[in-house]
Amino acid sequence: MLAFCLANCIDKLYLHNGYLRDKCPKRRQKVFFIHLLQLRPSKQLLEIAASVGRPIKVSSTAKTGPKIVAFVGETILLPCITTINSEVPTVEWTKEGLFPNTAFLYRDGCETFEMKNPVFQYRTNLIRHKLHDGNLSMVISNVQLNDSGNYRCAIRRNRKKKIITRLELFVGTLTQSVVLYLSFPPLWRSAQASHFGLGFPKDSDEGVRSAQILL
């Protein structure tokens, strides 16, 4: 029972029993092994173990956020604002069509990397000093074309999941234009005009023509 609970109840043991003082999951697991042999079956522990496997209740007051438009290589912000009454809950950003679909997971005071999709590795983050103000917005750096899609911001508390925001991101490439200025000597222009029967406006700039090329 305890071995089964290890993989699933570590967060609840941190909250209920107070054995684990470090807030980051990787370090908490190391401390958990030290205290594992000291645990004795108790009503509280049995209740925690019994809760494993219960379905997570999902509620939604999600607002449809603005459609975000970005260009490849930019750094953008996907907005998500809510009300935080006490401690910052688990914050989960996901993207439709990915497996795993996690773009960023914030839990127990730090990021959880294990569930993050590799395409977002080192490119997504939260504004940590704004979390207590209810600002759960996610930053994506070096935006790529395949980042386009539907995103969802949600929070988790006590096995209850609440969807805060849904929004759509469009990513495109920036088209650059270059203007080339070509100068033709007056004598050359006169000779070409005479040979081909062409004429130039009298009020035009002497020998200057421009062309626009899209790259």
Q: Which residue has the higher pLDDT, 125 or 14?
A: 125
Q: Which pLDDT score is estimated for 40? A: 44
What are 162-181's pLDDT values in tens digits? 999 999 999 999 875 555 55
Q: Is the pTM of this model over 0.85?
A: no
Indicate if 39 and 70 belong to the same structural domain. Answer: no
Indicate if 160 and 91 belong to the same structural domain. Answer: yes
Indicate if 7 and 35 belong to the same structural domain. Answer: yes
List Cβ neighbours of 21 (8 Å cut-off, separation of 6 or more). Answer: 31
Indicate if 138 and 210 belong to the same structural domain. Answer: no
Q: Which of 13, 35, 51 finishes a domain?
A: 51
Residue 103: strand, helix, or coil: strand
Tell me which residue of 67, 47, 81 sits closest to 153, measured CA to CA.
81
pLDDT band with cut points at 50, 70 and 90 for residue 98: very high
With contact defined as beta carbons under 8 Å apart, do 169 and 68 qualify? yes
Indicate if 93 and 150 belong to the same structural domain. Answer: yes
Q: Which pLDDT score is estimated for 158? A: 84
Rounded distance, CA 39 to CA 2, Å?
A: 9
Tell me which residue of 192, 178, 190, 197 sits closest to 206, measured CA to CA.
190
**Mean pLDDT over each residue of the chain, to the nearest integer:** 72
Indicate if 67 and 7 belong to the same structural domain. Answer: no
Indicate if 70 and 163 belong to the same structural domain. Answer: yes
Indicate if 81 and 155 belong to the same structural domain. Answer: yes
Q: Which pLDDT score is estimated for 93? A: 98
Q: Which of 33, 51, 69 finishes a domain?
A: 51
Residue 69 has pLDDT above 70, yes or no: yes
What is the count of structural domains for the chain?
Answer: 3
End-to-end CA distance of the chain: 64
pLDDT band with cut points at 50, 70 and 90 for residue 120: very high
Phi, psi of 23 (to 5 degrees): -85, -15
> Which domain, by its residues, includes 19?
2-51
What are 23-48's pLDDT values in tens digits? 565 445 544 443 443 444 444 444 44
Indicate if 62 and 167 belong to the same structural domain. Answer: yes
